A and B are shown apart, each in its own frame.
Chain A
C-alpha cells in the first residue's frame, strides 16, 4: 500500500518525465449549473494515478455531480476534464475509460450475475470473456452465484456484483458513488476493508464519493472535503483531521470545540490569542485566520480535564473555572460537557484509562490542552458550519 507521500513523489516523477502533462485525472475550473443553481463552482482537482481518493461532503454539496461529470453522465457548463493528458470533457460516457459503481448498484434485472459482469467486456468485443468473468467473480467471492438474477442476492452481494461489473473493465478511473450507503454497519465495515484490499491489489485510481466521514478517512489516501460546490480542503485524512482550515472541515470531520478569541500578537512560530481573558498560544502553522478575531479550535479528545489548579500536561494552555454539566459514560471513554466562565459548553472526551477519576456533574474542573493541538480559524466563518446532529 502506498502512502500519499509516495504517490505525490510518483506524481512528481511522472510530471517531470512528461513535462507539463499530468497522467492522473484533472478537473480545471469546472462549473456545473442547473438553471440558476450552481452545483459545482469553479472546481480544480488533481487526482494522481493509482490513488484512493475520497470526495466527502454533505448531501447536495456537488460531489455526485462532480462524479457524474467525470463519468460523462453530465456535461460541465464550463471548464475542462483531462485524463492522462487527454481531454474527455465532452467525450460520450461509453467512450471513456471510466466505470462507475452506482449508488443503487443499477444491476440489469433481466440478466444474471455472470451476464451483468460480462456486459462491459462484450460491448468492447474483448475475447475470453467467460474466463475473465469467472476470475472476477472469484475475486469478489461470488462464483457460486453466477447464474442467479440480481434480485435473488442480498444487498452486500449486489454491491460486490456492481463492483465486479465495473472493475472487470480495468478502467483508468473507477468511480464509487456512495456504494456502501445501503448496507448495514457490520457489512459496511467488511466492504470498506474489501474495497481497500481490491484497490491495493489492482492498483487502479478509485474516486469514492461519500457523506460518511469515517468511511472516507479509513479508506482514502487523499480526502477532499466538499461544501456548496467548492472544495473546502484537501489532503491526507490525518492532516485534515488534525489541522482543519475552515470551520466546516473542523465540524464535518469529527467534532470540534470552537471558542471565540482576539489575537494579541503574532510571532514567527506562535500566535497568542486572548480567549475570554486567558492567553492561549497556537503554532503559527495552524493559524488560518487573517483578522484580529478568530475561532480557537480544539478536538474534544485533546482536552484534558483535571481538578482546579492541577497542571496537566504542562506547559499547556490552562483554562480554569469550568463546571461539569453533563457526564456520559460510554465504556471506552467518558464524555463531559463543561460550562466555561463565559457560558459556552466545551466537549471533553477522556479515555477511561483507570488512571484518573470520573468527575460528576456540578464539580469544578480546570481544562487544559497542549498548544500544538489547537488551531485557529477565521472569525468570519460560521462556527456551526458542517456540524451534524448527533455523532456517528
Chain B
C-alpha cells in the first residue's frame, strides 16, 4: 500500500519532467542569457567576446537613444511602437468585435465556415502575406489607384512607407488573434440573457452595453492582450511596409543584434520593452477587473 502511494507520488513528478525541461531549455536559459547580455560591457564585440561588468548604464543609454521623442513628428522607435500597437489594437477590436458578434449570433449554419475563414490565413506564411500587402498597397496597386481616382490621395500620394501601411499590416496580421477570443466569449453568452434585457425595457442598444458588452469583457481583455503584445514587438510590418520613419522598436532590436552586433544595447532594449509591456498589461487587467485571467 505504502509502496503504491509512493509510486503514485513519483508519477506526478515524472509527468512534470518534460514540461520543466522544456521551460528550462527554452525560457529560463535564454532569459538568463538575455539579462546577462544586457549587463555586459558595451566595449566588447561578438568577435572579441563580452565581459560581465554589471553595466547598468546600458539601459539608460538605450532609453536615451531610442526611448525619447526627437520631435513632435518623430516620436522615436519605442513610443512609436506603443502608439502603432495601441492604435492597431483599437482598430482590431472594432473590426474583430463586429466580426465575432456576427459569427457568434448571426451566422447560423455558416458559423464553422466563417471560423475556418478567420483562421485560413495561418496556412500561409506571415512573411508571404505581408509581402502580398506590399503589392496591394504598392504605388501602382489597386488601393492607391482608387484613392487617387477619388482624390483622397494626391497624384503622387502613396501608402507604402507611411504609418497607414504599417498599421494596416499590423491590423491585418493580428486580427485573428482578436477575433478568436472575442468569438469564444460572445458564443458563451446565453441568448436568454439578451431576451431578458429586452423584456426588462432595455432597447437593443442599451441591452448591448448593459449585458452583451460586460459579459464579453474576458474576450475583449484576452483579445487586446494577444494583439497588443506581439504588435508592440513586431518588426516585419514596419520593415516591409514602412520606411525608416516608421521604424518600430522591433526593427531597432533586430538591427542591433544582426547588423550592428551591439548585443548589450539590443538586450537592454528587449528588457525595457518587456518590462514596459508587463507593467501596461498589469495596469490594464486591473482596470478591466478581470484579474482571474492572470
Contact = CB atoms under 8 A, between A and B. Distances in A.
Contacts of B199: 71-73, 93-94, 98-100, 166
How extensive is the interface on chain A, given as a class?
20 to 34
Interface stretch (B33-41, B54-62, B89-97, B200-208): B200-208
A108 interface: yes
A108 B193 contact: yes
Interface in B201-222: 201-203, 206-207, 210-211, 214-215
Given A94-B198, A102-B192, 14 more contacts: A72-B198, A73-B199, A94-B201, A94-B202, A94-B203, A94-B207, A100-B199, A104-B192, A106-B195, A106-B196, A119-B200, A119-B202, A120-B200, A123-B202
Contacts of A109: 193, 215
A110 to B, nearest CB: 5
Contacts of A106: 190, 192-193, 195-196
Nearest to A100: B199
B162 interface: no
Contacts of B195: 73, 93, 102, 106
Contacts of B211: 108
Contact of A119 (B190, B197, B214): B197
Contacts of A73: 195, 198-199
A263 B53 CA distance: 114
Q: Which residue of A109, A123, A124 has the most chain B CB atoms within 10 A of its CB atom?
A: A123
B206 A123 contact: yes
A267 B207 CA distance: 64
A129 to B, nearest CB: 13
Nearest to A73: B195
A123 B196 contact: no
Interface in B146-169: none
A98 B201 CA distance: 9
Contacts of A94: 198-203, 207
Contacts of A166: 199-200
Interface string A70-111: 011100000000000000000011100011101010111110
Nearest to B201: A123
Contact of B201 (A100, A102, A108, A169): A169
B196 A108 contact: yes
5 closest cross-chain pairs (CB), A and B: A120-B200, A123-B201, A106-B196, A106-B192, A93-B198
A339 interface: no
Contacts of B192: 102, 104, 106
Nearest to B195: A73
Given A102-B192, A104-B192, A123-B206, A110 B200 contact: no
A72 B197 CA distance: 12
A63 interface: no
Contacts of A119: 197, 200, 202, 210
Contacts of A72: 198-199
B108 to A, nearest CB: 14
A275 B291 CA distance: 76
Contacts of B203: 92, 94
Interface in A39-74: 71-73
A165 interface: yes
B215 A165 contact: no
Given A102-B196, A104-B192, A110 B215 contact: yes
Contacts of A169: 200-201
Contacts of A104: 190, 192
12 contacts: A72-B198, A73-B195, A93-B199, A94-B207, A99-B199, A99-B200, A100-B196, A107-B196, A108-B193, A109-B193, A119-B197, A166-B200
Interface string B82-120: 000000000000000000000000000000000000000
B291 to A, nearest CB: 15
Nearest to B194: A106
Nearest to B217: A110
A332 B214 CA distance: 55
A120 B215 contact: no
A108 B196 CA distance: 9
A71 B192 CA distance: 13
Interface string B180-199: 00000000001011011111
A102 B202 CA distance: 16
Contacts of B196: 100, 102, 106-108
B214 to A, nearest CB: 5
B214 A110 contact: yes
B216 to A, nearest CB: 10
Q: Which residue of A92, A110, A165 has the most chain B CB atoms within 10 A of its CB atom?
A: A110
B35 to A, nearest CB: 41
A99 B200 CA distance: 7
A119 B214 CA distance: 14
A120 B198 CA distance: 9
